Chain A
């Protein structure tokens, strides 16, 4: 179970600063910064809650290394045709689920809004991050970030990372 006393405040502050910086980078469209939040050996998935809950392995996006994240960035920049849009993350406070050595296990709710040109803003994707966060010489990095989303329907497509 959660043990809120497991991190002291400076450690917790570092964790929420990581989350805030991650959201700001994506909301600013700074795609080159996105892989830098991760270890070289990392996992990033965007997975429907239905699959996660039922133990079905398929994810909407399933990346297994920083290299795959870099390839996704290339796809966003160079190969995927899409209607342009802004996205805006609203991220809750991380709940500390536990520690494994110095790796922090956390769960954090998020909502991502999408705004297309000339259109009303809409809720694009709602879910929770299940993170494994690792201290490194250059700050906290994600060893794993699983985005498990409640949203039953993806509104057409997901181009940018969540």
Chain B
């Protein structure tokens, strides 16, 4: 072996903790496959959409769980089904439209037909073709329609939000979220009818877990995001709370806005712009809503693939769709409530300028994630250092902490067995 070999060894976990994540955890193709199997395809509920996206029988939406294409469809009975978008015959990813309305699904290749629950209901030449007094071809005598349906996923709908799982043995959605996180989920989704305002989609060249971390990281918003610190939407001198479920996989970052301006937490903070004023401040025309119950912001991370945003009057689900260890697609669905006044809907849309791929706040989250991934690739023998507020896990009653990231990686290590 040439002792001058320059390539550094890949670093493994150096201790039993979760504060120093090896960079290879973000780049390894083997770990990525195991993550898909253990988090996206087994034992977890994954977000697929809002029932308001498919209001009528026959309405469907094509989306992803992990890297697998699935269809969310409302059947003639009004029920919501989730089926895998792979024909049982020859594997064709048969549904190409992202939204639409159908009476049934037909594969274009050999016209196998499925109903809206994913059952195979018919196919050409099943009993062969008669020619010259004999029957040519046909399926074997032991062929049954029942054995050749689409893969049907477990489905849980709670207050208009639809989750699915490839794992039929997955626990209930309520148990999966746990009581503390469920309470914050129901704060936003209390059964009111939702109204979809539209979508934003971005492709971020970074590992998918970095987006979970970003929304489990209350340390960065008051530093990276000038708008948050300057206008008091998120900063370290606010009353805040960090909540996790019993496993440490899900989290809520909860805070209350203040008046902004200069204080102890803005000293030496380069992004604080004391003289910043807006030419048109309608973008920050915040009107508190009764259902907030105090906090002006609750950012929820549901592991592995969903973020639920309530930041003042702006609401969105953000769906993480991994694509290999080095990329993910990030799909934002902004919504309001069916009974919003026109003024409130306009306000939600205006405040959406802060978020999304061009957001005055969120655009730079994607940028820093991309640059973390560059560093991970460059230095595979290194590890992160997430020890703000110690090495422990669990919740906190302030935001000067990285405990939620450590909690997630403690859970990740248990499930991944590394």
- Enumerate chain A interface residues (CB-CB to B < 8 A): 46, 48, 50-51, 54, 56-68, 70-72, 74-75, 78-83, 152-159
Contact = CB atoms under 8 A, between A and B. Distances in A.
Interface SS majority for chain A: mixed
B26 interface: no
A125 to B, nearest CB: 10
A153 B203 contact: yes
Contacts of B201: 48, 152-154
Contacts of B350: 62, 64
Given A68-B279, A156-B370, A82 B349 contact: no
A156 B358 contact: no
Contacts of A158: 357-358, 363
B357 A154 contact: yes
Contacts of B104: none
Given A56-B199, A156-B205, A65 B357 contact: no
A71 B283 contact: yes
B151 interface: no
Given A51-B199, A56-B199, A157 B276 contact: no
Interface string B361-381: 001101110110000000000
A151 B262 CA distance: 41
Contact of B363 (A50, A62, A65, A80): A80
Interface residues of B, number: 42
A42 to B, nearest CB: 11
A78 B276 contact: yes
Contacts of A59: 198, 349, 352
B36 interface: no
Given A65-B280, A156-B204, A157-B358, A79 B227 contact: yes
B352 A67 contact: no
A74 B226 CA distance: 11
B353 A62 contact: yes
A51 B201 CA distance: 11
12 contacts: A50-B98, A58-B197, A60-B200, A60-B357, A62-B353, A64-B350, A70-B279, A75-B360, A80-B364, A81-B367, A82-B367, A157-B357
A95 B245 CA distance: 56
B395 to A, nearest CB: 29
B366 A64 contact: no
Given A81-B224, A83-B370, A156 B349 contact: no
A67 B271 contact: no
B85 to A, nearest CB: 17
B360 A79 contact: yes
B99 to A, nearest CB: 8
A54 B101 CA distance: 14
B207 to A, nearest CB: 14
B198 A156 contact: no
A64 B282 contact: yes
A146 B161 CA distance: 32
Nearest to B280: A67
Nearest to B206: A156
Nearest to B332: A58
A56 B195 CA distance: 10
B280 A58 contact: no
B278 interface: yes
Contacts of B329: 153
Interface string B186-200: 000000000011111
Nearest to A162: B358
